[in-house]
């Protein structure tokens, strides 16, 4: 491990490429938590320079880099293990500063000096310059808008990225500008720093050349990084976890994704191919099924992706998984419980079960599984999902047995709902049923097992008990938050009764 403490000028003013791996998360920094604090730090450093105080560079954070061994590039190329949000933000800050300088000073030599922090110079015989031009190579979701901003003037960016929203919505300038910014944090950061710099310069009484000279010195020399260069003997994943472990802004699923693909990189598997094939959908905000959309289970609110991985791990480890220990249990599963020969096999399995999870959480078809899923959604019962993932994903259970198991479970939860029996221990109840089905995959045996239960938390209500509760229990009053469930149950009873009459 090699350590350095470069200021921004030392970090960027050279021929170099910082490549953000395909699996890194999108740019997520925002105005309140990161941009405004950075801007305030910038102003403080500017004040220090004007008052001739002794300048101490502001510690900006760490950047962890791992150099690529490549014969296709003439430039030193580094994978950014940690610090991509920071690097991206400074690239956008520099671009905003360039455009403000273009507006107020128009000095081409200054523009070229700032461009050296953004772009590499073309070397003689360099046939791949377009791919090596940018000093920072973002992920595919940020790449197009990032390159558009760096490549163009402020006015051109407005034309390309903001004005099209006017045509789409037909609304006022401030409103469509705000909508465009809200769609991309990359664009939002650029506009934020441009506005702050422009307003500051326009309100200053200093000579323009003196003002911009001092602003440039602050940007180049007053922000210091800790640069950590990893060697082949270092473990990038271990360092990443150490730096992003306790109380970090990275989510459990961010940590899992990085853990998977860092191992794939170590195994020399094709990162781009397996990412595009098996993980891309989880990260893509434009897919029909929104994996990062927040949803609730009881008192917990998490992304759909995190809840899915919790259910997947519950199925695989056959134990309850806490919301704050998902990454820990995923590592435990990989190290002790899985039998995958490659990362591709690991991802293939994760992807396969995700398709079942989508059916459970967004049922559309008239299958036995999705009929049950609609009922469960109405009743707000999700603790059964690991069991259903197990059944649907088990090739050793016949199609007929699967459909019968879904009917059995539908009857089970519906009977208990009508009888007003507790759902509080359902996580353990369904975990017990999951373990039973792993040993005995016969639907009739499963039904007998359910009917053998006698505790209040898991018993199967008999027909007699059900009839009594239907007559005596004021279900609409006691289940007033689940009137849709009641209506659907009564509708099915009515359909059944009509069918019996028609048979006669």
What are the tens digits of pLDDT across the range 178-210?
777 788 999 999 999 999 999 999 999 999 999
Q: Answer whether 20's CB lies under 8 Å from 138's CB.
A: yes
* CA distances for 230 relative to 23, 106, 227, 246, 286, angstroms: 19, 41, 10, 22, 35
Residue 52, domain member (yes or no): yes
Prediction pTM value: 0.80
Of all residues in the chain, what percent carry a pLDDT higher than 70?
Answer: 89
Q: Report the C-alpha gap between 404 and 348 in whole angstroms.
A: 28
Q: What CA dihedral angle connects 58, 61, 67 and 72, to 10 degrees?
A: -80
What is the token pair recorded at 66?
Answer: 């791992």
Q: Answer whether 379's CB lies under 8 Å from 413's CB.
A: yes
The domain boundary, picked from 346, 375, 407, lies at 346
Helix axes 84-104, 108-115, angle to 10 degrees: 170
pLDDT at 248: 40
Please tell me whether residues 27 and 160 are part of one structural domain.
yes
The domain boundary, picked from 298, 315, 346, lies at 346
The domain boundary, picked from 346, 377, 409, lies at 346
Please tell me whether residues 337 and 370 are part of one structural domain.
no
Domain extent, residue 271, equals 251-346
Please tell me whether residues 384 and 313 are part of one structural domain.
no
What are the tens digits of pLDDT across the range 156-183?
998 898 887 666 666 555 666 777 778 8
Q: How many CA atoms lie within 13 A of 500 on its CB side?
A: 6
Please tell me whether residues 40 and 83 are part of one structural domain.
yes
Q: Report the C-alpha gap between 502 and 504 in whole angstroms.
A: 5
Residue 255, domain member (yes or no): yes
Residue 358, domain member (yes or no): no
Q: Answer whether 22's CB lies under 8 Å from 275's CB.
A: yes
- Number of structural domains (the chain) is 3
Please tell me whether residues 14 and 49 are part of one structural domain.
yes
Residue 496, domain member (yes or no): yes
Task: Determine the 3-state secondary structure of 91 from DSSP.
Answer: helix
Please tell me whether residues 371 and 497 are part of one structural domain.
yes
What is the token pair recorded at 252?
Answer: 């459990």
Residue 397 scores a pLDDT above 70: yes
Query: How many other C-beta atoms can be found within 10 angstroms of the C-beta atom of residue 152?
Result: 16
Residue 355, domain member (yes or no): no
Confidence of residue 497 (pLDDT cuts 50, 70, 90): low
What is the residue-averaged pLDDT of the chain? 88
Residue 488, domain member (yes or no): yes
Residue 64, domain member (yes or no): yes
Please tell me whether residues 212 and 256 are part of one structural domain.
no
What are the tens digits of pLDDT across the range 429-439?
999 999 999 99
Q: What is the DSSP string of 144-180?
A: HHHHHHHHS-HHHHIIIIIHHHHHHH---HHHHHHHH
Please tell me whether residues 486 and 408 are part of one structural domain.
yes
When mean pLDDT is compared across 117-131, 164-178, 271-285, 287-301, the lowest value belongs to 164-178
Please tell me whether residues 333 and 469 are part of one structural domain.
no
pLDDT at 247: 33
Please tell me whether residues 10 and 120 are part of one structural domain.
yes
Residue 495, domain member (yes or no): yes
> Which ranges in 28-115 belong to alpha helices (H)?
36-50, 84-104, 108-115
Please tell me whether residues 282 and 217 are part of one structural domain.
no
Please tell me whether residues 170 and 24 are part of one structural domain.
yes
Query: How many other C-beta atoms can be found within 10 angstroms of the C-beta atom of residue 105?
Result: 16
């Amino acid at each position: 491990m090699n350590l350095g403490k470069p200021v921004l000028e030392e970090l960027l003013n050279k021929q170099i490429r910082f490549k953000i791996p395909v699996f890194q998360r999108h740019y997520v920094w925002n105005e309140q938590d990161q941009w405004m604090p950075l801007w305030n730090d910038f102003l403080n450093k500017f004040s220090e320079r004007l008052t001739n105080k002794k300048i101490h560079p502001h510690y900006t954070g760490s950047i962890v880099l791992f150099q690529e061994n490549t014969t296709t590039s003439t430039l030193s190329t580094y994978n950014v293990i940690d610090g991509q949000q920071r690097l991206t933000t400074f690239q956008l800050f520099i671009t905003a500063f360039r455009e403000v300088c273009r507006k107020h000073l128009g000095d081409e030599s200054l523009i070229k000096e700032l461009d050296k922090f953004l772009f590499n110079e073309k070397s003689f015989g360099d046939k791949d310059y377009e791919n090596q031009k940018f000093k920072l190579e973002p992920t595919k979701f940020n790449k197009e808008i990032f390159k558009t901003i760096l490549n163009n003037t402020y006015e051109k960016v407005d034309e390309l990225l903001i004005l099209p929203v006017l045509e789409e919505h037909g609304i006022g300038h401030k409103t469509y500008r705000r909508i465009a910014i809200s769609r991309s944090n990359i664009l939002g950061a650029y506009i934020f720093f441009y506005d702050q710099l422009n307003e500051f310069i326009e309100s200053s009484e200093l000579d323009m050349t003196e003002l911009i000279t001092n602003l440039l010195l602050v940007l180049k020399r007053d922000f210091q990084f800790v640069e950590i260069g990893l060697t082949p003997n270092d473990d990038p994943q271990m360092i990443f976890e150490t730096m992003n472990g306790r109380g970090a802004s990275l989510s459990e699923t961010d940590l899992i994704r990085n853990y998977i693909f860092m191992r794939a990189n170590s195994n020399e598997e094709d990162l781009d191919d397996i990412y595009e094939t098996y993980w891309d959908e989880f990260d893509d905000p434009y897919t029909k099924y929104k994996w990062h959309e927040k949803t609730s289970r009881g008192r917990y609110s998490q992304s759909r992706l995190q809840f899915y991985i919790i259910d997947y791990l519950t199925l695989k480890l056959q134990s309850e998984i806490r919301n704050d220990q998902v990454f820990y249990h995923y590592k435990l599963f990989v190290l002790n419980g899985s039998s995958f020969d490659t990362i591709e096999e690991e991802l293939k399995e994760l992807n396969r079960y995700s398709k079942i999870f989508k059916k459970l959480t967004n049922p559309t078809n008239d299958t036995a599984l999705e009929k049950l899923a609609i009922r469960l959604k109405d009743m707000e019962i999700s603790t059964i999902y690991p069991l259903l993932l197990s059944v649907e994903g088990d090739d050793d259970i016949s199609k007929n047995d699967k459909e019968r198991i879904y009917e059995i479970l539908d009857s089970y939860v519906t009977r208990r709902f009508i009888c007003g029996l507790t759902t509080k221990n359902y996580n353990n109840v369904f975990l017990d049923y999951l373990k039973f089905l792993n040993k005995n995959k016969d639907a009739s045996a499963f039904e007998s097992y359910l009917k053998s239960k006698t505790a209040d938390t898991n018993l199967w209500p008999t027909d007699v008990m059900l009839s009594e509760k239907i007559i005596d229990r004021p279900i609409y009053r006691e289940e007033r938050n689940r009137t849709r469930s009641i209506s659907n149950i009564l509708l099915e009873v009515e359909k059944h009764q009509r069918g019996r009459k028609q048979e006669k």
